[in-house]
Homo-oligomer: A and B are copies of this chain.
Amino acid sequence: MMKPLRILISNDDGIFAPGIFSLAQSLREIGDVTVVAPDRQQSAVGHAITMHSPVRVHPFHVNGTMFGYAIDGTPADAVKFAVRNLMKDNPPDVLVSGINHGSNTAVNVIYSGTVSAATEGAILGIPSIAISLTTYDRPDFRYSAKFAQKLTKIVAEKGLPPGTLLNVNVPNVPEEEIQGVVVTRQGRSNWNDYYEKRLDPGKQEYYWLTGSLQVLDNDEDIDQIAINNKKVSITPIHYDLTNYSVLDTLKTWNLETLK
């Protein structure tokens, strides 16, 4: 008898988010799903982890049925708690984080809680996928949930190289308009952003971040360009941040004489 696929699901939009509900619904068709997610919105938290304060974990029910566990921590906390505590005797075969409501292409990857949950999965040795629907408007998660199911099966079967995870972005168009699937690189981009100055009712200054993303690459194998072309983008990413290409340059600086 085949053992059922053990799937861990998390996200950064919180356990109440429609995206995680669609994802769980789809992945329950192919395996045993455990959901552990933050108990509230945790977007743009980066790879935060809660060390200086305790966390609490509570079962979360939908219509009287157990849906998963809510943690008052970050996406990385949720995944670490799931793997190290809840599932420690029987770890997941695969982790899927999402479906995020909003794009995680280009420099956004750095800030993304969705990606951070999957990164924590990879750090803990679990083949991991982050999946995002690239819209900030009204999302329709049906196609991305279906795509997540297909990709999860493949990743569970083939595994992923140690330390590598997949960052998937899905264009927000109906299934029949999807133009294909492409393996991509993280785009170079800038946020043209700044903090807008405002006055509160007591006439005190406060600031609010505002701005727009500017993509600096045009190649077809760039994550954001794939999305612009209505293709699903799959970027293999890792958390070894070493810039190997400049190691040799730096060695010519004779920094060892700095001591």
Binding site for B on A (CB under 8 A): 41, 43-52, 54-57, 74, 76-77, 80-81, 84-85, 88, 107, 109-111, 116, 119, 123, 147, 150-151, 154, 158, 161, 163-164, 167, 178, 180-183, 185-186, 188, 190-191, 193-195, 197-198, 204-209, 232, 234-247, 249-251, 253, 255-259
- Kindly identify which residue among B84, B183, B198, B241 contacts A247, using a CB–CB cutoff of 8 Å: B183
Interface of A is mostly: mixed
Min CB distance A167 to B, Å, is 8
Instruction: Check if B43 sits within 8 Å of A186, measured CB to CB.
Output: no
Which of chain B's residues have a CB closer than 8 A to the CB of A244?
Answer: 185
Which of chain B's residues have a CB closer than 8 A to the CB of A190?
Answer: 123
Instruction: Check if A56 sits within 8 Å of B241, measured CB to CB.
Output: no
Min CB distance A53 to B, Å, is 8
5 nearest A-B residue pairs (beta carbon): A46-B46, A46-B47, A237-B241, A84-B194, A238-B243
Instruction: Check if A161 sits within 8 Å of B85, measured CB to CB.
Output: no
* 25 A/B residue pairs, CB under 8 Å, sorted by A: A44-B49, A49-B209, A50-B209, A54-B206, A54-B207, A77-B209, A81-B195, A81-B207, A84-B194, A84-B195, A109-B241, A110-B239, A123-B190, A161-B246, A163-B188, A164-B246, A180-B256, A183-B250, A183-B255, A185-B240, A186-B241, A188-B240, A236-B247, A237-B242, A238-B241
User: Which B residue's beta carbon lies closest to that of A107?
Assistant: B123
> Given contacts A46-B47, A51-B209, A183-B250, is CB(A239)–CB(B240) below 8 Å?
no
Extra inter-chain contacts (9) besides given A45-B45, A56-B205, A182-B255, CB under 8 Å: A46-B48, A54-B206, A151-B255, A151-B258, A161-B245, A161-B246, A180-B256, A185-B247, A188-B240
Min CB distance A215 to B, Å, is 14
Interchain CA distance A86-B251 in the complex, whole Å: 35
Instruction: Check if B54 sits within 8 Å of A85, measured CB to CB.
Output: no
